Amino acid sequence: MSRYIMRLDDACPRHDREKWQRMEELLNAYGVKPIVGLIPDCRDPQMEQYPEDPEFWDRARAWQSRGWAMALHGWQHVYVTREGGINPVHQRSEFAGLPLDKQKEKIAAGMEVFNAQGIRPVAFIAPSHTFDKDTLRALLECTDIRSISDTIARAPYNKYGFTFVPQQTGKARKLNLDWVTFCYHPNVMGEEDFLELEGFLRVHEGEFVPYPKGQTKRREDVGDKLLRLGYFTMRHIRRKLSGK
């Protein structure tokens, strides 16, 4: 049986209030405590379509006190390189490929916002899933964060001084893996997405666990490496075929 983690990306003052509210009520109804990727200082033009919510940080603090895990989701959510880094889900990044100093500035600036708002992150979530070893170094030097929600693997493992918690799919479904994180973006969810998610929650609610705090001693094994190789090879082929 798998352990499932719910992850919600792109929480920031400009968001689709109704959809986030609906997600919150849905997860509460099934007793699921997600990890939330909060953007400290969002400048992503795609988010401008949403009105600014003056109560957003109150809402975020309420999630935190309810036991939802908080994650540092980059700094401004603006892509400045075409690098995939060590988890090349996309060929664009706010971090991967930048010099260490620049990455440290971004991480430190994000943490300053969180500190001012009373948000205590337990993990890092890179926008577009992309980061490199210097991102990890920046986190080690500027934060207490020692957990990354993003890798392709069967189960969490320890590497480079971090616990990596696998995140393999954007849709709740059964996968033959020990730990699975479903990554949702409430802002862009449609009616169908909510209904499908609720259907899955109804059957599997007992299999959801909160984001693991603390460090694992497990090292990645050959199964993890093969899974990753297969996953990124498939993505690469799909990208070539679609001409992107």
Binding site for Zn ion (CB under 5 A): 9-10, 127
Nearest to Zn ion of 10, 224 (CB atom): 10
To the nearest 5 percent, what fractions of the chain are helix, strand and coil?
40, 20, 40
Q: How far is the CB of 5 from Zn ion (least distance, A)?
A: 17
Q: Which is nearer to Zn ion, 76 or 147 (CB)?
A: 76
Q: What is the DSSP letter of 167?
A: -
> Nearer to Zn ion by C-beta: 87 or 154?
87
Task: Between 168 and 220, name the residue whose CB sits nearer to Zn ion.
Answer: 168
How far, in Å, CA of 84 to CA of 127, rounded? 11
Question: What does the alpha-carbon distance between residue 124 and residue 18 come to, in Å, rounded to a whole number?
Answer: 26
* Shortest separation between residue 44's beta carbon and Zn ion, angstroms: 8
CB of 122 to Zn ion, least distance (A): 17
Name the packing angle between helices 133-142 and 100-117 (round to 10°).
40
Q: List, in sequence order, every beta strand (DSSP E) within 117-178.
A: 123-124, 147-149, 157-159, 162-165
